[in-house]
Structure 1
Amino acid sequence: MAEDQFKTGAEDTFISHLVELRNRILKAAAAVLLVFFGLMPWAGKIYDMLAIPMMAALPTGSKMIATGVITPFLIPVKVTLLLAFLIALPWVLYQAWAFVAPGLYAHEKRLVAPLVISSSILFVIGVAFCYFFVFGVIFKFINEFAPKSITVAPDIESYFGFVMTMFIAFGMTFEVPVIVIVLVRIGLVTVDKLKEMRPYVIVAAFIIAAVVTPPDIMSQMLLAMPLWLLFEAGLLVAPLFVRATQAPEEVEET
């Protein structure tokens, strides 16, 4: 009888967690959709803003082209949806935090909350760095390198795919300090060991940059150098973060 009651209680708990997860996901999705529908009347202008770095590099009077029938409608909608997600990101993260927080100890809350907030901020900074600085350098180089006999008229769908790839690459690059902190905090590797691996990290940074970015040295440097510097920043912050998030028993052992 006791065993049946235990199983029933466990099932009820599991179902309640699923219901809570569903409610949190619905609330997060509702916020994204609410912002999305609010921005839809300006979808064309939002895409124009995304295209500013490319348009600034093209000759005066040049325009992008659309080869698909519904592409002029579909691509601005995708851009608007991504912008809506970024705007609603604090609320989305809050829903995720509200779901996991009740099951965490105090020292675990001190670990998770700063990581979630800092990783989100760093990702947005990486995207902004790419948009405001890197794109200007890359597009100017590409268009100056192009033969004068070629009329450069980028397709908006190809441009969107390229921009999203670069945004993800730079956004993830700016997550390096968080990755370093997590690796050190869970004890998978020490700061001293990471310092010994520094030469390999630098080489890996340039290899990743060569694969992700266009084949010019400037854009590769613009990705590889932040990747290396952010790795160094992670080495500086990791010991401080570990001390600040220790459990009581870990403090006693120390």
Structure 2
Amino acid sequence: MAKKIVQEKEMSFLDHVEILRWHLVRSTVAILLFSVVAFVMKDFIFNKIIFAPKNANFITYRFFCQVSKIFGTDGLCITDIPFTFQSLAMAEQFSVHIWTSITVGFVVAFPFIVWEFWKFISPGLYEKERKGAFLFIIVSSFLFFLGVLFGYYLVTPLSVNFLGNYSVSDIVSRNITIGSYISLVRSSALASGLIFELPIIMYFLTKMGLITPDFLKKYRKHALVLVLILAAIITPPDIVSQIIVGIPIMALYEVSITISKIVVKRERKKEKQNA
């Protein structure tokens, strides 16, 4: 272990950059390979996944309708999302196909990307911490995929339904470019996936000594305001959608406080053992 630390200390900045470069190269190759697979599966990716929230029979709309009927109303039932898709540029559909495939490639390759990230930072960790690689990859990937599903099945339908039905005047027809629609789906899913990594981020920030549980508790109210602002950015501007999105994000913040407490407790225990 001591020998390993000495080797890491003797490495120059350019050596670290070179190592990082190869981790990035391998991650990029993985993304491209999965992107090629996604590119070939065009019909499934677009018809079954991307454009599914445009269908009033989408599972999320049916769920809200069932909940609405439990309370004796059909106020949450969606019967139609009145807009059509159009392509205005010659290369728009091909460009959308390429970037959607890359996005899918990134999502599918995420566990491998996390593995490469772990291999880059692991030399600076203790032996016991390096043994937690498998758990780190599983937890990080689970949170990311959970966030992507949250964004796809909740944030996206709320946004599509609200914006698809919103109108400033009856004389304006709702012809939406496929680029703007897919951009909404992509940003909703990826933003949610990255937001759900909050506990992991807080873990490393606590390990680095940049934050503490007391700091997170002290600024809990400020965090609540930021969460509401964030929810307003990634959801339609209605209070129900913001609350639906804000609750899980705030729950992740509370989980982060618990994780920070555990990390601090372990660090203090190590300090006592080494004293």
Task: Quote the Cα distance in structure 2 between the aligned partners of 1:251 and 1:154.
Answer: 62
Give, in whole Å, the separation in 2 of the partners of 1:199 and 1:95.
Answer: 36
In structure 1, what is the equivalent of residue 53 of structure 2?
53
Counterpart in the other structure of 2:65: none
Counterpart in the other structure of 1:31: 30
- Alpha-carbon contact 1:66-1:156 (below 8 Å) kept: yes
Aligned pair in 2 of structure 1 residues 29, 58: CA closer, same or farther (>3 Å)?
farther
Query: Aligned pairs, how many?
Result: 244
- Gap change, CA 1:156 and 1:227, over 3 Å in 2: same
Equivalent pair of 1:97/1:113 in contact (CA under 8 Å): no
Distance (whole Å) between structure 2 residues aligned to residue 119 and residue 50 of structure 1: 24
Q: TM-score, normalised by structure 1?
A: 0.77
Q: Which residue of 1 aligns with 2:218?
A: 196
> What amino acid sits opposite 1:200 in the alignment?
H
Structure 1 distance, partners of 2:11, 2:211, is 39
Q: How does 1:173-252 map to 2 (within 5 A)?
A: 173-244=195-266, 246=267, 249-252=270-273
| TM-aligned CA deviation for residue 145 of structure 1 | 4.2
Give the letter for the 2:218 counterpart.
E
Worse-superposed segment, 164-173 or 13-22: 13-22
Give the counterpart of 2:95 among 65, 70, 74. Answer: 74
Residue type at the aligned position of 1:24: H
Cα distance between partner residues in 1 of 2:11 and 2:201: 36
User: Which residue of the partner structure matches residue 84 of structure 1?
Assistant: 105
| Other-structure match for 1:171 | 193
Which shows bigger deviation, 117-126 or 67-76?
A: 117-126
Structure 2 matches for 1:98-109, cutoff 5 A? 98-109=119-130
Give the structure 1 partner of residue 114 of structure 2. 93
Q: Which ranges in structure 2 are unaligned for 5 or more consecutive residues?
A: 1-8, 57-77
Letter in 2 for 1:201: A
User: Shift of residue 138 of structure 1?
Assistant: 2.8
SS at match of 1:64: strand
| CA distances 1:61-116 after superposition (whole Å, capped 9, x unpaired) | 96411111111111022111111122222223323333443453325536777556
- Superposed displacement of residue 248, structure 1: 7.5
- For 2:86, which of 65, 69, 87 is the aligned residue? 65
Residues in 2 aligned to 1:217 and 1:107: alpha-carbon distance in whole angstroms: 46
Residue 162 of structure 1 corresponds to 184
Q: How far apart are residue 189 of structure 1 and its match?
A: 3.4
